[in-house]
Amino acid sequence: MGIGPKAWVADRLGRDQVFRINVRNGDEISKLSQLVNSDNFKLNFWKSPSTFGHPVDVLFPSVSLQPVKSFLKSQGLEYLVTVEDLQALLDNEDEEMQYNEGQERSSNNFNYRAYHSLEAIYHEIDSIARDFPDLASRVKIGHLFENRSTYVLKFSTGEGRQQLTIWLNSGIHSWEWISQATVIWTTVSDNGKDPAITSILEKMDIFLLAVANPDGYVYTQTQNRLWRKTRSLNPGSSCVGTDPNRNWNVSFAGEGASDNPCSEVYHGAHASSEVEVKLVVDFIQERGNFKCFIDLHSYSQLLTYPCGYMVKKAPDADELDEVARCVAKALASLSGTEYQVCPTCTTVYPASGSSVDWAYDNGIKYAFTFELRDIGHYGFFLPASQIIPTTEETWLGLKTIMEHVWDNLS
């Protein structure tokens, strides 16, 4: 099924813009909060406030631009425009996908340099399992709110032995398309050719969830490209969806999450209320033996580790920091892309109920979050031309983690 022109944004955005606002002290945080809490501007956070010195990225509709600029100027808040015309980015993305769909229909080949529909990704997952039966198998783990199936790819050459296991997650926030594109590329990159990966797969299994929020992902491609949450209904509210990365049973409903169903960071009615979360939790707990959990997001070029819900040093923070810095070095070795490394709560913003913190608190020591390219010029709308450069450098980082896990747990 194709994606019709302009289908993924029901309402054209005019000349909406993204502002990067600098906050340097508590007074400026307070002033920004006035802006955030106003219903007049209809803003959408792309990068939320964290600590002083970390900028905030906010999307404003075109009708709000002049009053917002006046407010920022009157309050002495510094800003710059990182995205001049969001609709232009969406139009370019639209044209690229339409062209790619035509090319793929004529060649019958999956183009790893393009973004794809859920249907196309699932078809490629089937093809990988069929073409590499000694390496990969497709595992159905359940059905979602809108009755879609969700699948993981299992990579193993361990011939049925109980092995140490790695979980690789992507697309939990549906508008972060580069995460899905990156992880699906890794499935065919070096498998069977790279001696390091061949060795790892002989001793460890890898479970890959390429699209962790399928309902939301389809919605970004049919209704609203700016959709982040799940698509479940919230009783008593007309607002749909829960932030699936605030729904895990770790410091649930704590700092960095909201009890407002209309919020982008709504934590849900209870921990694991979202089937997208519960299916993964049940799968990992029933199988056991998971030693590494990696969650791919965008954007910001960050590599973070627990914990995210409070400013407290995790027991294994020193080792995790050392691993993360080796990963950042590997990422930079290909094309110089620089990643910051730090615990989640100090690098990004407080975030209770996250997947990586849940993994760590449930005994999965090596738990990391990647925030992929870029640092804000395109934000969540990274051009397809950057998919391969992003995936190639990310793969070097993933291999660094896998090798460390094996070397330290074997």
- Give me the half-sphere count of Cα atoms (radius 13 Å) on the Cβ side of residue 268: 26
What is each CA distance from 388 to 226, 341, 395, in whole angstroms? Answer: 23, 23, 10
SS3 (DSSP) at 330: helix
Active-site residue list: 371
Asked if 272 and 281 count as a contact pair (C-beta separation under 8 A), the reply is yes
Residue 366's CB: how many other CB atoms inside 10 A?
A: 23
> Strands (DSSP E) along 216-305, which ranges?
290-298, 302-305
Rg of the chain (C-alpha set):
21
Asked if 209 and 170 count as a contact pair (C-beta separation under 8 A), the reply is yes
> Which two tokens mark 238?
């007309």
Angle value at C-alpha 28, between 22 and 30, nearest 5 degrees: 130
**CA separation for the pair 282, 151 (Å, rounded):** 14
DSSP state of 383: -
- 340 forms bridges with which residues in the sheet? 302
**CA separation for the pair 118, 363 (Å, rounded):** 32
Q: What angle separates helix 118-131 from helix 177-186, to the nearest 10 degrees? A: 10
> Which two tokens mark 134?
């000694």
